[in-house]
Structure 1
Amino acid sequence: MTQSYKGACFCGAVELTVTGEPVAAGFCHCASCRSWSAAPVNAFSLWKPEAVTITKGEDNIGVYHKTEKSYRKFCKTCGGHLLTDHPPFGLVDVYAATIPTYRHEPMLHVHYQEAVLRIKDGLPKMKDMPKEMGGSGETLPE
């Protein structure tokens, strides 16, 4: 049986379900993610678009995109962040905090060169992004 995880915005006006397992999960340290999440690091889980379903409040979703790589989606009522579509990668980042029943198992850190909070957890620390996602593929020391 395929696992599903339910999530919602801060007020519950928008609900979503993710099904299966993420393609990748980790922590992003880039300035955009830090600013958007109002935190020193952002926990991400990347899913294929077909694994993500809005189950309630689709008409209540606002979109902001600073670049063509990231369409950040939020609840128009509470401002709660939901997910980010990444069309060039064919992936959707559902913020780990949005899906509380999902057990976030990070695989790596990305954009570690921008880190303001160093995390010593033994995971690979990518300078920017993996090569297959257009980055340098370089890792940095913890």
Structure 2
Amino acid sequence: MKKITGSCVCGKVEFSVADQFVYAGYCHCSMCRKSSGAAGTAIGGIPKNHFSVTKGQDHIKRFNRTEESISCFCEHCGSALYGEKPSVRMVHVRYGALNNNPTLLPQAHMHVSSKAQWYEISDELPQFSEFPDA
């Protein structure tokens, strides 16, 4: 199984993930926009047992966004790295934190009902008002 790595900007946190993402897409929810400072965030979903922090576990801060979503970021540089989804045992890896290209590229736009009004989606990927059903 091919592994790919990721890290924060300052290098204090590193992680490894199997290149077996189940789904990938651009999230346009207001929380992803605010935490990234951008129009949205590219994420890949992977079962938690295919993801591991390999360096700097003690430098990761967690923020409970909702009951179903915990944002994980570096306490030093503020890099958003991944989100934990405990109820479904998944991790949403921020593709921007990856050091290597994943095989599965984003497949859709999610939460477009709350996308920034100033941003126009200009590709042909499917768009979902919320998170698409499995």
The answer to whether TM tops 0.5 is: yes
Larger CA Rg, structure 1 vs 2: 1
Post-superposition offset of 1:26: 0.5
Q: Which ranges in structure 1 are unaligned for 5 or more consecutive residues?
A: 133-142
1:113 CA displacement: 1.3
State the aligned residue count.
131
Per the TM alignment, residue 81 of structure 1 is displaced from its structure 2 partner at its CA by 1.3
Alpha-carbon separation, structure 2, partners of 1:131 and 1:5 = 27
Corresponding residue number in structure 2 for 1:108: 108
Matched residues in 2 for 1:90 and 1:102: separation? 23
| Counterpart-to-counterpart distance in 2, 1:123 and 1:44 | 15
Corresponding residue for residue 121 of structure 1: 123
Partner of 1:36: 35
> What percent identity do the matched residue pairs reach?
32
SS in 1 for 2:96: helix
Runs of 4+ residues over 4 Å off in structure 1: none
Residue number in structure 2 paired with 1:48:
47
Give 1:1-142 correspondences, 5 Å limit: 2-103=1-102, 105-116=105-116, 117-132=119-134
Query: Which stretches in structure 2 are left out of the alignment for 5+ residues?
Result: none
Q: What's the TM-score once normalised by structure 2's chain length? A: 0.91
Choose between structure 1 and 2 for higher RCO, CA contacts under 8 A separated by at least 6 residues: 2
TM score, norm. by length of structure 1:
0.86
